[in-house]
Amino acid sequence: MAYIEIKNISKKFDTKTVLDNVSFEVKKGDIFGLLGPNGAGKSTLLNIMIGLLKADHGNIVIDNMTMEEQPGKIKAKLGVVPQDLALIEELNAIDNLMFFGSFYGLSTSVLKERVDESLKIIGLEDSAKKKVKTYSGGMKRRLNIAVALLHQPEIVIMDEPTVGVDPQSRNYIFDFIKKLNKEQNITFIYTSHYMEEIELLCNRLFIMDDGKQVSYGTKEEIKEIVSNKHQIHLTLNEITKEFTEALQQNKNIIAVEEIDNFLSITTKIEFEIDVLIKLVTKFDLKIKNLSVVDPTLEEVFLTLTGKKLRD
């Protein structure tokens, strides 16, 4: 059942159509990737989802409530991590969290508890009393995220949360997203220009370009849209002519190529790996390594949009 419904959202600025009848659903507990090249309309859509912009047509429905009719209740469910940092550099982490947390209407005692919890989650306990201006870019990003978590939202929208961060901070961000998603069933909507992050985190995706839907579904479904074949890499104790000829006779095998002492086998989607294993056994060979190489999301994105994500 859909938890978030984006229903036929359209938006124009002057005569330029920025969003053109965009629709998709997000299930509760999803880590949902929103992808598109620069200018695709992602930021406009996010601003409509959090109530900063009004759509010309369509509606946002969250937990059976519409943004149009119950914006206050919906916003209370949302935590927003903007792409641009929103911190007070002259204050330390604790004071930043206390200041921004005061806007959520939490009591002082509850807020102090939440501040302590947030600092622990993002790994900034030891630096909590240092001024933010002394922080690295990654530490600032982590603090920016903590601000969005203070009111314990059910949905966290993250717009490019790892821009300019160091590897340690990036790993912290990934770990706590997966932890909160697993332990608290928090739903995440995640945008990034780093496709490896989407591969690692997201279970479902919406790809857009020029304000329109390009593709929508699970990672596996989207990959299958652009590829009706698999690539299998097979290393054996030896490669025999009889074995390769037997492979080539299978109707679901498109090509067999020997590369640096292993076989690269291109198959149709219908090909079953058990057939390959039975052939290896039949010819009394031994498998040293076997891997199925699917197209990467980067390759899929380029095929669907004709652009690279970081163009």
**Model's pTM, two decimal places?**
0.80
Domain shared by 124 and 148, yes or no: yes
- 204: which residues sit within 8 A by CB, 6+ positions away? 26, 27, 30, 31, 32, 33, 217, 218, 219
In a domain? residue 302: no
Average pLDDT over residues 129-156: 94
Give the pLDDT band of residue 207 (cuts 50, 70, 90).
very high
Domain shared by 241 and 274, yes or no: yes
Q: Which domain holds residue 283?
A: 228-293
Domain shared by 158 and 263, yes or no: no
For tokens 């947390």, name the residue.
Answer: 101
Instruction: Using the 3D structure, point to which of 201, 223, 245 is the last residue of a domain.
Output: 223
Query: What is the reported pLDDT for 309?
Result: 65
In a domain? residue 303: no
Q: What radius of gyration do the chain's Cα atoms show?
A: 24
Kindly report the CATH number assigned to the domain that includes residue 264.
3.30.70.980
Average pLDDT over residues 239-244: 92
In a domain? residue 309: no
Domain shared by 165 and 258, yes or no: no
For the stretch 163-181, pLDDT in tens is 888 888 888 889 889 999 9
Domain shared by 185 and 233, yes or no: no
In a domain? residue 118: yes
Query: What is the reported pLDDT for 171?
Result: 87
Q: Is 25 exposed, middle or buried (0-12, 13-18, 19+ CB in 10 A)?
A: middle
Phi, psi of 209 (to 5 degrees): -155, 140
In a domain? residue 311: no
For the stretch 267-310, pLDDT in tens is 887 888 999 999 999 999 999 999 988 777 887 777 777 776 65
For tokens 């209740």, name the residue.
Answer: 73
Domain shared by 63 and 212, yes or no: yes
Give the torsion sign (CA, 137, 138, 139, 144).
Answer: positive
Give how many domains the chain has, as a whole number: 2
Instruction: Using the 3D structure, point to which of 205, 223, 241 is the last residue of a domain.
Output: 223
The yes-or-no verdict on residue 112 having pLDDT over 70 is yes
Average pLDDT over residues 105-128: 92
The yes-or-no verdict on residue 101 having pLDDT over 70 is yes
Structure tokens at 292: 């199925």
Give the residues across from 209 on adjacent strands: 212
pLDDT above 90: percentage of residues in the chain: 66
With CA atoms as reference, report the closest residue to 26 among 78, 73, 68, 100.
Answer: 78
In a domain? residue 259: yes
With CA atoms as reference, report the closest residue to 170 among 185, 160, 180.
Answer: 160
Average pLDDT over residues 35-50: 92
Torsion of CA 139, 144, 150, 152, to 10 degrees: -100
Average pLDDT over residues 249-263: 88
Average pLDDT over residues 21-30: 96
In a domain? residue 186: yes
Kindly report the CATH number assigned to the domain that includes residue 198.
3.40.50.300
Query: What is the reported pLDDT for 247?
Result: 93
In a domain? residue 13: yes
